[in-house]
Amino acid sequence: MIEYKKKLSFTYFLPIFYLIIYIMKTGGSYFILGCVLSFIWVLHFFGTRVTSKTKPKIKINIKPFIKDSHIILFNKHIHHWIIFLCLFVTSSILLYFYKYKLLNVIQGFSFIQIVHGLSYKDRFDFSIKE
C-alpha cells in the first residue's frame, strides 16, 4: 500500500499527463501494451505492496553485480527506475529517428517501471543493505 504524508496536487501529475498525451498521439496502442506488460511484471516480481528495503519475490544472484535481485555497481545500489529511465530516454531518441513500434512498447514498459520505482520511500537511497 502506498502511503503519502502530503496531499499531491494536480500540478504534480501534469507533466505525466502531457507525456501520456504526447505518446498516445505518436504510437499509443503500443505504448499501452508496454504499460500493461509492465504492470503484469510489477505484480509478478514485486507484488502489490510498496515497502522500502524489501527483497523481490524472485531472488537472482550473479556475482559481483547482482545480489538478491539488487543491481550493485561501484558499491552502490542501482534502483530499477534509474535503469528504466535510461531505457526510456534511449528509446525516445531512437523513436525520433526510427518509427519502430517496439520502441513504443519499450517506452510504455519503462514508464510504468519508473513510476513504480519512484513510489518507494527509499527511491534516492543508494546505500547497500548488508
Per-residue pLDDT, 1: 42
Q: How confident is the model at residue 25 (pLDDT cuts 50, 70, 90)?
A: low
Cell 531518441 belongs to residue: 93
Instruction: Spell out the domain ranges in the chain.
Output: 21-48+57-118
Q: What is the largest CA-CA distance in the chain?
A: 46
CA 17 – CA 130 distance, rounded (Å): 39
Q: pLDDT of 30-60, one tens digit each? A: 888 888 888 888 887 777 777 766 666 677 7
pTM of the model as a whole: 0.71
